[in-house]
Amino acid sequence: PRLYLLITVGSVYIQSHEEGFDRVLDDLIEMLKTVQNPLRGLFVRYYFLKTCKDRLPDKGSEFETEKKTVKDAIEIILSNLQETNRLWIRLQSGRDKLRTEKERKELRMLVG
């Protein structure tokens, strides 16, 4: 719950354009790496993308700075996708196959 709250507050902070808002995105990404449970990690990464997708630096957007450019936004999205794939594979391996497939189907329906 704390990480979800931090993502929400960080998103609002980025939108406020206060000093240091570009570092908040980096801190949130680092915090996402601390989630150990693959199922929780998938949900929190999905929530992060849903919440911050409008606040990523884009060409000509208000969130593009000298420090944060479109390349950084692409890097954020790709690294998030890589970690999501790793978590998905971890969710698949190491447990009962029938139970894992059931959880993956439920997760697929929830996240989309």
pLDDT of 112 strictly over 70: no
**pTM of this structure:** 0.80
Q: How far is CA 55 from CA 43, 69, 82, 93, 105, in A?
A: 19, 12, 20, 34, 30
Per residue in 48-65, pLDDT tens?
999 988 888 888 888 787
Query: For residue 17, which of 68, 77, 76 has the smallest C-alpha distance?
Result: 68
Per residue in 32-42, pLDDT tens?
999 988 889 99
pLDDT of 10 reads: 92
